[in-house]
Structure formats: structure tokens, C-alpha cells
């Protein structure tokens, strides 16, 4: 036994010593004979290359191509194109651009604020109901999510039917039954934008709800219990506990929704086509029409670049609102 | 020899199954003909015939294509479906054809024919049609499919036109002039219904339906060189007259303000079926839709007539439709494409009761014997195709915007026309 224990003690000593030697052998020398190539291949780069290649091919190249096209006079049916500032100059000098940008601002701000506010309200409702062990929260979440899985073009068609101003239009018929005068939802330039925003909020709310619901679940319930002991009122709990803890999630949510809304054109295309006149024509829809109706590739690319610059600028502004530790 | 029943059944099935399988195999979702055929032709088609959601239509075209492929042994047609986003699909065909990846044969919207011709993508089909067939085409159709060299580069297989539909219980007599149309619409509106409906939203249909009123006065959108002229000289007055026709209808209440949100013929049909409108401006194909959608009694109340003009003698209507063209250099493929075009123009048209582009076809098929075809044929005499110039899409876009702005009260006709002309000329200078 004594011999055995002496042996095992030696083994342990040997094992303790062994890793030091092995690690030293395994660690490549700082300046191996292979030079730069060996150093590159011993690092993480080879493992990252496929991902970097895929990103470059499928994301960076199209952006590069769009930038290149923006500096040409390319049209879909012309075989030869020339480097030119004509597309950008015509875009900047167009009297229409101001109207389009104003529409885009109105639509985006109203849609983003609406989606976040409604998404947060539903998420709070679901969490509250879960805490109270009420039934039906899963059904509620599923119903809200159902709107999100509908394609945007179908969403536009659905709302077009609902907003129909025909004598048999759904919402107006309900209003008439309630003794309220029918509303010119889509034919009045002022109302048409409101209708487009409602349709967008209806579909996009689910996305906000999911993100904010997940963030709400991470808030420590002990904080609310402590607040309850201190007799904090509901709005105080919301203002001093919920909102500060949701700050990062709200900002990330705003960034994602902002980009999605700026790029959204299919709902409006199906709902109003951008009309009446140009009342609901936003930048993405204008760029789409420029390329696919007028076949002006160069000008369409320039408009897309403008959209990209606006998206990036607003994203940078929103990132500045993130808590410092989340910015990295 | 008497076989026991199960064996008889098995023998019958063994005989029948290969035939059924063979017939089924000839038409699939992406192919017509045997999969292992030596020659293949790619054909980009719309979803309204061979792959129609309507079973009877799909079946009828399936039989026509089966006969066609059996008459052309050694060939297979690889079918490619276009979506409903017409402008986008047509642009895609051009892009792909330029990159050498386009279809060998494709359906082309007649409004885009000029663009395809200008891009030089279409192969001449003249050798595959007889002189009689070419001469028999309506003049505006022949002009549309002929290139600068005098070659037939597409086969415009059906056309359509805009007409006035009316509920005869509300409007017994067909209005012949704008004034009569306004009077009839106002009279219907006084009864609590919508007097007249027309598309005035953001869609090509709105511009094209309206253009008949401009053309009826002899208005011209572009000059011989393709330069926009609709806003200057006599054209300006004619253009404003046509805009004011719609504006007066809305301002007087004869047409509802909601027309600025109408951009689909389906909306017009829905209102007609609901009995909430007295008249509407629609396409000739809606006649069949009315018969299919409404009860026999209800449908019998609806009648069709040519679009009214400023006077009974001044009429015009926009004519559209689809063409089939070859985008291949291979003569054998071009000949196959011409064969497909002939298939659509003859029996295909007869089945769907679309408007043929050749006068003789109206007499050849009994399907065109109905009284409505006499009215359509009469209206076709005043038919006018869209100008085959690259600036047309922007002119159409600006007309749509102008109609929306004027009819919603956001701009006067004069200001809206000035804004539209400035935008169109900007676009023209970028061409």
C-alpha cells in the first residue's frame, strides 16, 4: 500500500510537470522558419476566410456594384454605359426628391414609433398576464405573430380590401353601422399616408413584441418585488425599472425596424401604388419605379445609395443611444 | 380465354397506365414534351393559360400543347413562368437575354414591344408566317411587330380595348358623347348609386384607360422623332379637355372621389357585381367576367358600347394585348416559337375568347360569333396602340400622378400638366 501510494504520488508529480513541457512544445515559436505565411495559417484567418468570402460575394459585391452603377448613366436597354455624374445630379436636382424624402420621413417615423409602442404594450401585457398565470397568452402571441408571417404584398392587399371606400368596404361599412361618416382612407392624399402607416404597424408590431418580450423576461423579478415593498406606483415601476432595463433592447429594436421600414415598399405598392398623386410614394418605392418602370439603372442605383446613406446615418445616431457597455 | 376478375382488372390497368402516365408526363410544371427529347426550347409564359388556376383553361391549353409537341417530334419545351409583376418580369427577360441567359421564346407585353425592338433582342420571324397571315393583321398590330428593316419580329397574338359598360336598368341607351356620359352618370348618382367608375390610381391601367379620351380629339403624346409633345400647342388643350372630363365627373359627384384609389379592373367588376355603380370604363375581357361572375339575370342587365368621344364621330380606345417573340439565333427554335405563337393566336384565342389580331380569325371560329364581338370589332376600328417609344413609361407614370393630384383636388389641371411635362422632359433628356 505504501509503495502504491508512493507511486501514485510520483505519477501526480509527473502529471503536474508534464503539461508544462507539452505546452511549451505545442506553442509555436514566435518567429518560426515559415515566416509570414505560417503565422497567418496558424491564426484564425483560415477559419474565417469562408465566411469573409461569402460576405464579400453576397453583400459587399452588390453594394460595390450599386455604387459603381450610381456613377454611370446606365439604362437597362443600353449596351454601353459611361462613367458620369448625370444620375446623381439628376437625382439631387429633381424637384420630386423633396416630396419623396418628406413622405419617407413621415412614413418611417410614424411606423417605427407605432411599432415600438404597440409592440412594447403587447409584450408588457403578455408578461403581466403570465405573471398572473392567466390563460391565453400563448394564443395572444400567436395571433400577433400571424400578422408578421404574412408577406408584405399580401398585407397591402388585405388592408386595401379593409380600407375600400366602395359602399361595401369593410371598415367604412362598420363605421356606417355605428353612425359614423365613412372615411376616404385611400383616395384622400392626407389620409392615404395614415392608412399606409396603419398597415405597416399592424404587420411589424409582432417583431417588436418578440424582441421586447424576450428583454422583459430578463429583468430580475426581485426588482419589482422591492419596488412593491417601497409602494412604488405602476408608472414608477415602468419608468424607473422597466424602461432603463429595456434601453438596449429598445435601441436595437429601433435600429432593426428603422432599416426594415426604410426598405419597405411592397406594402405601399399593393395598397396605394404611391398615390393618390405622389402622396404615399416613399424613397424605396421611387427607386423601384425608377429601375423597373423607367429602366434607369444608374439613377435607381443613386437613389439606393441615398437610402443606404440615410439608413447608416440614422443607425449611427441610434447606436450612440446604446448603453456604453453594449456599443462594442 | 376467360380471366378471373382481378386478373382482368390488372391487365386493363397494365394497358391503360402507361398511356395515362405518358399523357401526364408530356405536361409538367416546367416542361411540355418528353424529358429526354433531343431538342429543347425555353418558353417564358404568363400564368393565364397552360398553367392557369382555372382548371378548364389549363386542360384546354394542355391538350393544345400536347398536340403541338406530338406534331414536333424530338422537341421539348422547357416552360418558365412569369409572375404578375409585368414590368419587372419584362425587364428581367431583357437583362437575361443580354447576358445570353434569356429564354428562346417569350411572351411580351405589347406595351414593351418597342423597348425590345430597340434593344435589338428579337429574332426575325417573317419566314415562318405567310404573306396572307401578315397582311391579315390589323394595321396597328402589323406596325407594332415590324422592325425598322421591315421584318416581323414578334406575333401579337391577342389584343384588347377599353369600352364603356352600363347597367341598362339605370342607363338604357349607350352614351355616344362625353356630355351624354356625364348626364347619364349624374342621373344615376342622384339615385344614390355611383354614377360611373374608372381607374385613376397609380397604375398603367389608369393612364391607358384615360388616353382614349385624349386620342379621340386627335391628341398626340409624342412627335415622329419620339419627343414628348402632349403638353404643347393644340395637344395641350386636348390634354386638358380630357383631364377636365374626369375632373368634372368627380366634382359634380357623378363619379366618386374614390376613383383615385382605383387601380384594378377587379375593383370595377366588384362594384358592378354589387350593383353599386351605373357605368364603368373597363376592358373588353370583362364582358366574359360579367357573364361568369353575375347571375344570368343580373348579367343580362349589363351592356357594352364603345367609349364616348367629345362628339359621336370622334372616338378612340387604347389597344393592348400580348405578343410572342423569339430571342434565339437558332432558326429551328425561332420556327418552334412561331408555331407556339400560331397556337395561341388561333385555337388559344378562340378558347379564351380574347380578341384576335387578324380579321379572318373572327370568321374562322364560331366562338367569336357573339354580338359583343361585333361591338368590339367596331371599336377596334378606333383602336390606338401606345406609342412605341422609350419615354412612354414615364409619360404614363406622370399621367397617373397628374390624375391623382387633380381628382383629389391637390392641383389644378394646368399646374399638374406643367409639373408632368417638366418631369417627362427631364426623363427624356436622360434617355
Q: pLDDT tens digits, residue range A277-317?
A: 999 999 999 999 999 888 899 999 999 999 999 999 999 99
- Domain identity same for B313 and B250: yes
> Is there a cis peptide before residue B125, judged by omega within 30 degrees of 0?
no
- Domain identity same for B245 and B390: yes
Q: How many domains does chain A fold into? A: 2
Strand partners, A247: none
- Domain identity same for A65 and A21: yes
The pLDDT, as a whole number, for residue A33 is 55
Contacts of A263 (CB under 8 A, 6+ apart): A284, A307, A311
Which of B201, B261, B274 minimises the CB distance to A168? Answer: B274
Helix (H) or strand (E) holding B106, with range, is strand B105-109
- Domain identity same for A104 and A69: no
- Domain identity same for B292 and B331: no
Check A277 against B404: CB less than 8 A apart.
Answer: yes
- Domain identity same for B55 and B69: yes
Residue to substitute from B202, B269, B406, B420, interface A, most A β-carbons within 10 A: B202
- Domain identity same for B241 and B286: yes
Check A167 against B88: CB less than 8 A apart.
Answer: no
Which of A95, A273, A299 minimises the CB distance to B263? Answer: A273
- Domain identity same for B195 and B331: no
> Which chain B positions have a beta carbon within 8 Å of A299's beta carbon?
430
Residue A167 has pLDDT above 60, yes or no: yes
Residue of B nearest to A269 (CA): B202
The 10 Å Cβ neighbour count of residue B227 is 11
Nearest Cα residue to B69 out of B56, B79, B58: B79
Q: Is A296 on the interface with B (CB under 8 A)?
A: yes
Check A275 against B271: CB less than 8 A apart.
Answer: no
- Domain identity same for A164 and A290: yes
Residue A37 has pLDDT above 80, yes or no: no
For residue B4, is it within any domain?
Answer: no
- Domain identity same for B45 and B112: yes
Residue A24 has pLDDT above 70, yes or no: no
- Domain identity same for A251 and A180: yes
Q: Domain limits at B343?
A: 16-153+321-379
Residue A321 has pLDDT above 70, yes or no: yes
Q: Report helix, strand or coil for B254.
A: coil
**Do residues A292 and B88 lie in contact, with contact meaning Cβ atoms separated by under 8 Å?**
yes
Contacts of B124 (CB under 8 A, 6+ apart): B147, B149, B151, B152, B153, B334
Q: With the C-alpha atoms ordered B124, B125, B129, B133, is the resulting torsion angle positive or negative?
A: negative
Residue A190 has pLDDT above 60, yes or no: yes
Check A277 against B271: CB less than 8 A apart.
Answer: no
- Domain identity same for B53 and B102: yes
Nearest 5°: the CA angle A293, A294, A299 is 120
For residue B5, is it within any domain?
Answer: no
Give me the interface pTM, i.e. the ipTM. 0.82
**Do residues B404 and A276 lie in contact, with contact meaning Cβ atoms separated by under 8 Å?**
yes
Residue A28 has pLDDT above 70, yes or no: no
For residue B2, is it within any domain?
Answer: no
Nearest Cα residue to B239 out of B211, B261, B266, B267: B211
Chain A segment 174-213 residues within 8 A of B by beta carbon are 184-189, 192
Which of B91, B276, B427 minimises the CB distance to A167? Answer: B276
* Confidence band of A175 (pLDDT split at 50, 70, 90): very high
pTM exceeds 0.95, yes or no: no
Which of B267, B397, B401 minimises the CB distance to A293? Answer: B397
- Domain identity same for A79 and A97: no
Q: How far is B417 from chain A (nearest CA, A)?
A: 12
Nearest Cα residue to B209 out of B156, B155, B245: B245
Residue of B nearest to A288 (CA): B88
The pLDDT, as a whole number, for residue A326 is 60
Q: How many domains does chain B fold into? A: 2
Residue to substitute from A84, A85, A183, A275, interface B, most B β-carbons within 10 A: A275
Domain stops at, among B379, B400, B415: B379
Q: Domain limits at A69?
A: 2-87
- Domain identity same for A102 and A219: yes
Question: What's the rounded Cα separation, in Å, for the pair B312 and B305?
Answer: 12
Contacts of A246 (CB under 8 A, 6+ apart): A120, A212, A215, A216, A219
- Domain identity same for A21 and A143: no
The pLDDT, as a whole number, for residue A10 is 52
List the CATH number of the domain containing B328: 3.40.190.10
Domain stops at, among A67, A87, A107: A87
For residue B30, is it within any domain?
Answer: yes
Q: Is A273 on the interface with B (CB under 8 A)?
A: yes
For residue B9, is it within any domain?
Answer: no
Helix count (H) and strand count (E) of chain A?
Answer: 16, 0
Strand partners, B323: B108, B156
The pLDDT, as a whole number, for residue A327 is 57
* Confidence band of A19 (pLDDT split at 50, 70, 90): very low
Q: How far is B88 from chain A (nearest CA, A)?
A: 5
List the CATH number of the domain containing A100: 1.10.3720.10
- Domain identity same for B207 and B262: yes
CA distances from B264 to B207, B210, B272 (A): 12, 14, 13
* Confidence band of A72 (pLDDT split at 50, 70, 90): very high
- Domain identity same for A120 and A36: no
Q: Provide the residue-wise pLDDT of chain B in tens; the chain has 431 residues.
A: 333 444 444 444 444 444 444 445 789 999 999 999 999 999 999 988 999 888 888 999 999 999 999 999 999 999 999 987 787 888 889 889 988 899 999 999 988 888 888 888 999 999 999 999 999 998 889 988 999 899 999 999 999 999 999 999 999 999 999 999 999 999 999 999 999 999 999 999 999 999 999 999 999 999 999 999 999 999 999 999 999 999 999 999 999 999 999 998 999 999 999 999 999 999 998 998 898 889 999 999 999 999 999 999 999 999 999 999 999 999 999 999 999 999 999 999 999 889 999 888 888 888 888 888 888 888 888 889 888 888 998 999 999 999 999 999 999 999 999 999 999 999 999 88
Residue of B nearest to A96 (CA): B423
- Domain identity same for B328 and B268: no
* Confidence band of A166 (pLDDT split at 50, 70, 90): very high
Q: Is A274 on the interface with B (CB under 8 A)?
A: yes
Nearest Cα residue to A296 out of B286, B421, B391: B391
- Per residue in B7-55, pLDDT tens? 444 444 444 444 444 445 789 999 999 999 999 999 999 988 999 888 8
Q: What is the DSSP string of B45-94?
A: E-TTSTT-SSHHHHHHHHHHHHHHHHTSTTEEEEEEE--S-HHHHHHHHH
Residue A30 has pLDDT above 80, yes or no: no
Check A73 against B267: CB less than 8 A apart.
Answer: no
- Domain identity same for B183 and B248: yes
Check B260 against A187: CB less than 8 A apart.
Answer: yes
Buried b (16+ CB within 10 A) or exposed e, B107-139: bbbbbbbbbbbbbebbbbbeebbeeeebebbbe
Q: Is A294 on the interface with B (CB under 8 A)?
A: yes
> Which chain B positions have a beta carbon within 8 Å of A76's beta carbon?
91, 94-95
Amino acid at each position: 500500500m505504501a509503495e502504491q501510494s508512493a507511486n501514485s504520488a510520483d505519477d501526480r508529480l509527473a502529471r503536474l510537470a508534464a503539461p508544462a513541457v507539452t505546452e511549451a512544445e505545442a506553442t509555436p515559436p514566435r518567429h518560426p522558419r515559415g515566416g509570414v505565411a505560417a503565422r497567418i495559417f496558424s491564426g484564425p484567418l483560415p477559419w474565417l476566410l469562408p465566411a469573409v468570402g461569402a460576405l464579400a460575394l453576397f453583400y459587399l459585391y452588390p453594394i460595390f456594384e450599386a455604387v459603381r452603377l450610381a456613377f454611370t448613366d446606365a439604362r437597362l436597354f443600353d449596351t454601353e454605359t459611361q462613367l458620369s455624374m448625370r444620375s446623381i445630379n439628376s437625382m439631387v436636382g429633381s424637384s420630386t426628391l423633396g416630396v419623396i424624402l418628406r413622405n419617407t420621413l413621415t412614413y418611417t417615423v410614424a411606423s417605427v414609433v407605432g411599432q415600438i409602442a404597440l409592440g412594447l404594450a403587447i409584450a408588457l401585457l403578455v408578461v403581466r398576464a403570465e405573471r398572473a398565470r392567466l390563460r391565453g397568452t400563448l394564443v395572444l402571441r400567436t395571433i400577433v405573430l400571424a400578422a408578421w408571417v404574412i408577406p408584405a404584398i399580401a398585407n397591402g392587399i388585405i388592408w386595401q380590401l379593409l380600407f375600400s371606400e366602395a359602399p361595401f368596404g369593410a371598415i367604412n361599412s362598420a363605421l356606417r353601422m355605428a353612425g359614423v361618416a365613412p372615411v376616404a382612407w385611400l383616395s384622400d392624399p392626407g389620409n392615404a399616408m395614415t392608412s399606409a402607416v396603419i398597415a405597416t404597424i399592424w404587420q411589424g408590431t409582432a417583431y417588436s413584441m418578440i424582441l421586447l418580450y424576450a428583454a422583459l423576461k430578463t429583468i430580475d423579478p426581485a426588482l419589482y418585488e422591492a419596488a412593491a415593498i417601497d409602494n412604488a406606483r405602476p408608472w414608477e415601476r415602468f419608468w424607473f425599472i422597466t424602461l432603463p432595463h429595456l434601453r438596449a433592447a429598445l435601441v436595437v429594436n429601433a435600429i432593426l425596424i428603422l432599416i426594415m421600414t426604410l426598405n419597405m415598399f411592397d406594402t405601399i405598392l399593393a395598397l396605394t401604388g404611391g398615390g393618390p398623386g405622389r402622396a404615399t410614394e416613399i424613397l424605396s418605392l421611387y427607386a423601384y419605379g425608377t429601375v423597373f418602370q423607367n429602366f434607369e439603372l444608374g439613377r435607381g442605383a443613386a437613389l439606393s445609395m441615398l437610402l443606404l446613406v440615410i439608413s447608416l446615418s440614422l443607425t449611427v445616431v441610434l447606436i450612440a443611444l446604446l448603453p456604453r457597455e453594449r456599443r462594442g | 380465354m376467360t380471366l378471373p376478375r382481378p386478373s382482368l382488372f390488372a391487365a386493363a390497368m397494365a394497358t391503360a397506365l402507361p398511356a395515362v402516365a405518358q399523357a401526364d408526363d408530356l405536361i409538367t410544371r416546367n416542361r411540355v414534351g418528353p424529358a429526354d427529347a433531343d431538342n429543347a426550347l425555353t418558353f417564358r409564359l404568363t400564368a393565364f393559360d397552360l398553367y392557369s388556376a382555372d382548371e378548364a383553361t389549363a386542360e384546354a391549353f394542355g391538350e393544345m400543347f400536347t398536340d403541338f409537341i406530338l406534331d414536333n417530334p424530338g422537341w421539348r419545351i422547357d416552360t418558365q413562368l412569369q409572375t404578375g409583376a409585368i414590368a419587372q418580369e419584362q425587364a428581367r427577360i431583357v437583362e437575361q437575354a443580354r447576358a445570353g441567359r434569356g429564354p428562346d421564346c417569350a411572351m411580351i407585353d405589347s406595351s414593351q414591344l418597342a423597348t425590345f425592338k430597340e434593344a435589338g433582342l428579337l429574332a426575325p420571324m417573317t419566314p415562318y408566317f405567310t404573306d396572307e397571315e401578315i397582311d391579315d393583321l390589323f394595321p396597328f398590330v402589323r406596325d407594332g411587330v415590324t422592325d425598322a428593316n421591315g421584318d416581323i419580329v414578334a406575333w401579337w397574338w391577342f389584343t384588347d380595348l377599353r369600352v364603356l359598360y352600363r347597367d341598362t336598368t339605370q342607363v338604357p341607351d349607350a352614351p355616344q358623347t362625353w356630355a351624354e356620359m356625364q348626364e347619364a352618370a349624374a342621373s344615376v348618382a342622384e339615385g344614390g348609386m355611383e354614377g360611373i367608375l374608372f381607374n385613376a390610381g397609380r397604375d398603367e391601367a389608369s393612364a391607358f384607360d384615360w388616353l382614349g379620351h385624349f386620342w379621340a380629339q386627335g391628341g398626340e403624346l409624342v412627335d415622329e422623332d419620339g419627343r414628348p409633345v402632349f403638353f404643347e400647342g393644340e395637344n395641350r388643350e386636348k390634354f386638358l379637355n380630357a383631364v377636365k372630363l374626369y375632373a368634372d365627373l368627380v366634382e359634380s359627384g357623378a363619379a366618386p372621389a374614390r376613383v383615385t384609389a382605383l387601380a384594378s379592373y377587379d375593383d370595377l367588376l366588384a362594384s358592378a357585381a354589387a350593383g353599386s355603380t351605373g357605368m364603368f370604363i373597363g376592358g373588353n375581357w370583362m364582358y366574359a367576367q360579367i357573364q361568369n361572375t353575375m347571375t344570368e339575370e343580373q348579367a343580362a342587365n349589363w351592356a357594352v358600347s364603345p367609349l364616348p368621344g367629345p362628339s359621336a364621330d370622334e372616338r378612340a380606345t387604347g389597344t393592348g394585348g400580348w405578343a410572342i417573340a423569339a430571342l434565339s439565333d437558332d432558326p429551328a427554335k425561332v420556327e418552334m416559337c412561331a408555331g407556339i405563337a400560331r397556337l395561341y393566336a388561333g385555337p388559344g384565342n378562340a378558347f379564351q375568347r380574347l380578341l384576335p389580331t387578324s380579321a379572318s380569325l373572327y370568321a374562322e371560329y364560331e366562338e367569336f360569333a357573339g354580338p359583343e364581338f361585333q361591338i368590339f370589332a367596331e371599336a377596334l376600328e378606333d383602336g390606338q396602340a401606345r406609342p412605341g417609344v422609350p419615354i412612354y413609361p414615364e409619360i404614363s407614370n406622370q399621367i397617373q400622378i397628374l390624375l391623382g393630384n387633380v381628382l383629389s383636388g391637390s392641383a389644378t389641371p394646368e399646374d399638374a400638366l406643367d409639373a408632368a411635362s417638366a418631369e417627362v422632359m427631364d426623363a427624356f433628356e436622360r434617355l
